[in-house]
Amino acid sequence: MPVRLLRRCFTVEQYHKMAQAGILSEDDRVELLEGEIVEMTPIGSRHAACVNRLNRLFSDRAGGQAIVSVQNPIRLSQRSEPQPDLALLKPAPDFYASTYPRPEDVLLVIEVAETSPDYDRELKIPLYARAGIPEAWLVDLEAEAIEVYRRPSAQGYGEVRRAGRNQRIALESLPELELAVADLLGY
């Protein structure tokens, strides 16, 4: 007789209550994706360096046009609160102190993949599309390329483009913020 696994899906509120109760701590590298608490992979040095580089580039160039949010939660729905490596958010006077940003607050999310781009490509990118995030980038460090996803729908992103090291990309909502892929990838 096959064993049947029982799963329990959580809401964002329940997830936060677990943190308040000490079940989850700030040191736990987890995020809530479609009701499941998912352990995030450890961050390697190339991944960390890329996130730092992205932070510097976007902070220098976005100015007052966007808030650069690094590895902070975005509330996509009642059951999903991922922590993208970097997000560009619409300016808010309180810097989102009263609530986490929601999809309508997001200009861009960026996921950096050092060893597992399929996880981001197959799970997180479609999640962002279903939530209506207008643009997502997947920085694939192994392939030395950036995948640009635009035109979100419930079925996924309608436009997908891959930009290599010698190309440039611009954020659709801030086209003047054009960047060289080599600058984003570094090394």
Q: Tell me how far apart the alpha carbons of residues 125 and 136 are, in angstroms, rounded to a whole number.
A: 7
- Residues 84 and 74: beta-carbon distance below 8 Å: yes
**Backbone phi, psi, residue 115, to 5°:** -130, -15
pLDDT digits (tens, 9 = 90+) for 76-114: 999 999 999 999 999 999 999 999 999 999 999 999 999
Q: Tell me how far apart the alpha carbons of residues 170 and 2 are, in angstroms, rounded to a whole number.
A: 51
- Locate the domains of the chain by residue range: 41-185
Name the band, by pLDDT with cuts 50, 70 and 90, for residue 4. confident
Rounded to a whole number of angstroms, the distance between the first and last alpha carbons of the chain is 54
Tokens linked to 74: 């975005």
Residues paired with residue 67 on neighbouring β-strands, in sequence order? 89
In the chain, what's the furthest Cα-to-Cα distance? 61
Domain 41-185 has CATH 3.90.1570.10: yes
Q: Tell me how far apart the alpha carbons of residues 74 and 106 are, in angstroms, rounded to a whole number.
A: 9
Q: Tell me how far apart the alpha carbons of residues 110 and 130 are, in angstroms, rounded to a whole number.
A: 16
pLDDT digits (tens, 9 = 90+) for 9-67: 999 999 999 999 999 988 889 999 999 999 888 889 999 999 999 999 999 999 889 99
Q: What is the pTM of this model?
A: 0.92
